[in-house]
Amino acid sequence: MGILAGTRRISRSDVRAWAVLAVAVAVAYGVNFLVPALSALSVAVLLGVAAASSGLLDPAVQAGVARSGRKLLRAGVVLLGLQLAVPRMLALGPGVLLAVVLTVAVGFLGSLAVGALLKLPRGLNILLATGTSICGASAIAAMEGTIRRRESDVATAIALITLYGTLAIAAVPLLGSWLGLSDVELGIWAGLGVHEVGQVVAAAAPAGAVAVEAAIVVKLTRVVLLAPMVTAMGLWERGSGADGSKPPVVPLFVIGFLVMAVVNSLGVVPVPVAAVAKVLCTALLAAAMFSLGCAVRVGALVRTGGRALLSGLLVGVLVVGVACVLTLWLA
């Protein structure tokens, strides 16, 4: 009895919440299969917003979705590390590696500056800067546990990343052709400048397999910078906590992400295991994104909408533009 005393009993609403999450993930995968430009994570957020706004979920189930979503998010970010391999990144060469660092730095700091000028809520500004400069929804989800923010800020940032990343899918190949970029250069540009991994693949695909391969490696190199960025923001938040709160410097799941990246870089993970882990990672993150979408309050989203839309547009143009210049200069 003593062992079980601290164990939370699984309720009927928990089981219903898991069923809702499973259905949401299945639908998100289905939409992604039919429309590859829409990532499963982005679709899951939109499904969450729709479910919460329509009143389909009763409060007990919604609370269960929120509890489960937080745990699934952390597990998904840990598994994301298994998609990284340091040797492949080093093979890019110093010029491309420098371009990655500069794009992330300019994108993050530039986004913060634009958001401050437009007077975006602080939490939304940081999350939008993180998603734009690193890897979209996954980066936003990793950062949200480290900073002080409103519940609606997370889904708002993801919605903006989805919107402008989708526009970049069409813009990058068209502009790349007009600029006369080679297939590899187009792939590098897509990897540097487009937000989500799925969007990066879609943007590079018109230039062929060589472009897609370059885009994926560059994009995953950007993902490596997620850990130091979350750590830096954790230190900043602890130093600026006027209310006395002390967010974690480095969440445990981010440490797990780094450990998985090291393990994968050692080449000890069998290919079938890595493939299953990739699918499971996306499924876990999609479930977490649905949970975040359920926390959105449409009224608050509308009130912030104009400034947030403009900020997302300006920052998207900034990152894509800087990435293009660095591709031509350093790649």
Q: What DSSP letter does each residue of 226-239 carry, written as one string?
A: HHHHHHHHHHHHHH
Which pLDDT belongs to residue 160? Answer: 84
Phi/psi class of residue 83: alpha, beta or left (left: φ > 0; alpha: ψ in -120 to 50)?
A: alpha
Question: Own/partner pairs for 166-170, CB < 8 Å, 24+ apart?
Answer: 166/37, 166/38, 166/199, 167/316, 168/193, 168/194, 168/195, 168/199, 168/203, 168/316, 168/320, 169/37, 169/194, 169/199, 169/202, 169/203
Mean pLDDT, residues 88-116 taken together: 92
Residues 199/172, Cβ–Cβ less than 8 Å: no
Regarding predicted confidence, which is higher, 299 or 33? Answer: 33
Contact in structure between 82 and 281 (CB atoms under 8 Å): yes
Q: Quickly tell me which residue has 């899918």 as its tokens.
A: 169
Q: HSE, CB side, 13 Å, CA atoms: give it for residue 257.
A: 24
Give residue 242's pLDDT: 46
| 329 CB burial (10 A radius; 0-12, 13-18, 19+) | exposed
Mean pLDDT, all residues of the chain:
84
> What's residue 77's pLDDT?
80
With beta carbons less than 8 A apart as the criterion, state whether 123 and 156 touch: no
Structure confidence at residue 6 as a pLDDT band (50, 70, 90):
very low
- Which pLDDT band, with edges at 50, 70 and 90, does 4 fall under? very low
CA triple 317-323-328, angle to 5 deg: 130
The pTM of the whole model exceeds 0.85:
no
Do 154 and 140 meet the contact criterion of CB atoms below 8 Å apart?
yes
pLDDT in the model for residue 304: 61
- Let me know the angle formed at the C-alpha of 22 by 198 and 270, rounded to the nearest 5 degrees: 55
